[in-house]
């Protein structure tokens, strides 16, 4: 028995692969294109693991995907492969359409061909799990109910529109071809191995470097925060127990405005690694112009996965964010290595030389 993971060198995917092999002896084949956010260093601890195989490639490469499926005969495919940074989708949407829409289509086609050739016993237990986002639902007003699985899709950025399209493709392949699919829509993740262009890791990295801590607009954009290892445990639960064709929202029950997140990170750094001058890291907070079409609030109603599958997050935000800050403080080499020339070049292009870097959240 084997599973095929796509995008397993990225932030959530690498955490999933690490957790899977720590808890199971079932092998993992990890297919990743290794774009800027796909970092093989995340998985260096598995370099000699007998149950881990890395395949460098694109989910749009049907020949490669067909070969991996034929050779390793996985019982499930877990699809993390995606372009996911909203700011990048605004400045360059083409890559998001190619990976998130065309890539998902090509992957589904390969999977459909493979699944169609399985014998009955294998077909009935086979699974395709598609990992998506709460951003497909659009933006909520302060008093609106949280996103449920039946909430109308209303994506507002090229990124979220591309993920919405991929979700619809997955649903269509289930209803048209009978492909046994599952879809998860998660809230904002945080934790180890997060590329430092997103809100929490960027704040940690910039604070230590003495750089501005950029906050979009008034900083009151609200997100539901989910510790990445809780997300991984939820995906495992959906893979094992989820009903075919169903969607499961995964959230942390932690709605917080961005500014509160930044304050929390600053306060933890004040405690764990104080500034030499004795001042709070909050002094580095800088407000920058809001990004175009910035959604005001996301919130996940995660009752379905709790009631049907018995899953709920283990970490509170307070425990998860402390673990996250400690991880970044303890892994400066990883941070230094991930901040390579291409990352700095993109930062300069996106925000201009000398301007603070504003994160996606």
pLDDT in tens, 89-112: 898 999 999 999 999 999 999 999
Percent of the chain at pLDDT > 90 equals 84
Give the active site residue among 52, 114, 137, 159: 159
State the pLDDT at residue 344: 42
pLDDT above 60 (res 191) = yes
Rounded alpha-carbon distances, angstroms, from residue 308 to 130, 131, 174, 208, 231:
19, 18, 20, 43, 16
pLDDT band for 196, please (50, 70, 90 cuts).
confident
**pLDDT tops 50 at residue 239:** yes
Cα 23 to chain centroid distance, Å, stands at: 21
pLDDT at 225 over 90: yes
| Residues 115-136 as b or e (16 or more Cβ within 10 Å = b) | beeeeeeeeeebbbbbbbbbbb
CATH class of 3-190+226-254+293-315: alpha beta
Give per-residue pLDDT as tens, 41-97: 899 899 899 999 999 999 999 999 999 999 999 999 999 999 887 888 898 999 999
Q: How many helices (H) and strands (E) does the chain have?
A: 14, 12
Q: How far apart are CA 329 and CA 332, in angstroms?
A: 6
Q: What is the pLDDT of residue 106?
A: 98
Alpha helices, H only, the chain? 11-23, 62-72, 86-91, 94-96, 104-116, 120-125, 158-177, 199-209, 228-241, 258-272, 303-309, 317-330, 332-338, 341-351
CB-based contacts of 23, cutoff 8 Å, min separation 6: 236
Is 134 among the catalytic positions?
yes
Residue 343 confidence (pLDDT): 39
Residue among 32, 87, 134, 224 flagged as catalytic: 134
As a whole number of angstroms, the distance between CA 304 and CA 325 comes to 31
**Does the annotation count 114 as an active-site position?**
no
Is 58 an annotated catalytic residue? no
**% helix, strand, coil for the chain, step of 5:** 50, 15, 35
Mean pLDDT of 318-328: 98
> Could you give the CA distance from residue 46 to residue 61 in angstroms, rounded to a whole number?
25
pLDDT at residue number 46 = 96
pLDDT for residue 349: 54
In this prediction, residue 291 has a pLDDT band, given cuts at 50, 70 and 90, of: confident
**Confidence at residue 40, expressed as pLDDT on a 0 to 100 scale:** 86
Spatial separation of the C-alpha atoms in residues 85 and 71, rounded to whole Å: 33
Q: Do 146 and 283 meet the contact criterion of CB atoms below 8 Å apart?
A: no
- Structural domain boundaries in the chain: 3-190+226-254+293-315
- 344 vs 303, residue with greater confidence: 303
CA dihedral 216, 221, 226, 227 (to 10 degrees): 30
pLDDT band at 356 (very low <50, low <70, confident <90, very high): very low
Rounded mean pLDDT of the chain? 92
Q: Is the pLDDT of residue 352 over 90?
A: no
Which residue in this structure is represented by tokens 């407000």?
Answer: 287
Q: Which residue has the tokens 């292009």?
A: 349
Euclidean distance between CA atoms 131 and 99, whole angstroms: 14
Q: CB count, 10 Å around CB of 218?
A: 11
pLDDT tops 70 at residue 148: yes
pLDDT band at 141 (very low <50, low <70, confident <90, very high): very high
63 Rama sector, left if φ>0, alpha if ψ -120 to 50, beta otherwise: alpha
| Predicted confidence (pLDDT) at residue 227 exceeds the cutoff of 60 | yes
**Cα separation, 48 vs 285, whole angstroms:** 43
Report the percent of the chain where pLDDT is more than 70: 94
Average pLDDT on 197-211 reads 95
pLDDT at 210 exceeding the cut of 90: yes
Pairing of strands 188-190, 213-216: unpaired
Are 262 and 215 in contact by the 8 Å Cβ rule? The answer is yes
Answer for the pair 70, 135: CB distance below 8 angstroms, yes or no.
no
d(CA 172, CA 170): 5
Contact 156, 221 (CB under 8 A): no
87, 135, 197, 295: which is the annotated catalytic residue?
A: 135
**Distance (Å, whole) CA 263 – CA 35:** 31
Report the pLDDT value the prediction gives residue 87, as an integer from 0 to 100.
80
Res 36: pLDDT: 77
Q: Is residue 353 pLDDT above 70, yes or no?
A: no
In angstroms, the CA 361 to CA 359 distance is 6
């Amino acid at each position: 028995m084997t599973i095929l993971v796509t995008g397993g060198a990225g932030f959530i995917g690498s955490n999933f692969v690490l957790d899977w092999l720590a808890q199971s002896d079932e092998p993992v084949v990890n297919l990743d294109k290794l774009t800027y956010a796909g970092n093989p260093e995340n998985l260096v601890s598995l370099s000699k693991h007998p149950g881990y195989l890395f395949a460098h490639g694109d989910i749009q490469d049907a020949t490669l995907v067909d070969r991996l499926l034929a050779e390793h005969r996985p019982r499930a495919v877990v699809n993390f492969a995606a372009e996911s940074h909203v700011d990048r989708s605004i400045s360059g949407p083409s890559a998001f359409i190619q990976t998130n829409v065309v890539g998902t289509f090509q992957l589904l086609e390969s999977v459909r061909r493979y699944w169609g050739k399985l014998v009955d016993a294998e077909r009935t237990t086979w699974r395709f799990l598609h990992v998506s986002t709460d951003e497909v639902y659009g933006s909520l007003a302060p008093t609106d109910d949280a996103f449920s699985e039946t909430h109308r899709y209303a994506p507002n950025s090229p990124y979220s529109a591309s993920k919405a399209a991929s979700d619809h493709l997955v649903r269509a392949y289930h209803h048209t071809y009978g492909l046994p699919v599952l879809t998860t829509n998660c809230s904002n993740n945080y934790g180890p191995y997060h590329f430092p262009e997103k809100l929490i890791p960027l704040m940690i990295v910039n604070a230590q470097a003495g750089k501005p801590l950029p906050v979009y607009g008034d900083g009151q954009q609200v997100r539901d925060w989910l510790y990445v290892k809780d997300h991984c445990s939820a995906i495992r639960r959906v893979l094992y127990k989820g009903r075919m064709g169903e969607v499961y929202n995964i959230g942390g029950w932690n709605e917080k405005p961005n500014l509160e997140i930044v304050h929390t990170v600053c306060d933890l750094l004040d405690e764990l690694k104080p500034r030499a001058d004795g001042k709070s890291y909050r002094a580095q907070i800088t407000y920058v112009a809001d990004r175009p079409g910035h959604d005001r609030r996301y919130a996940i109603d995660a009752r379905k996965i709790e009631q049907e599958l018995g899953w709920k997050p283990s970490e509170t935000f307070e425990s998860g964010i402390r673990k996250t800050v400690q991880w970044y403080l303890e892994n400066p080499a990883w941070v230094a290595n991930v901040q390579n020339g291409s990352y700095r070049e993109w930062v300069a292009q996106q925000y201009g030389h000398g301007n603070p870097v504003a994160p996606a959240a």
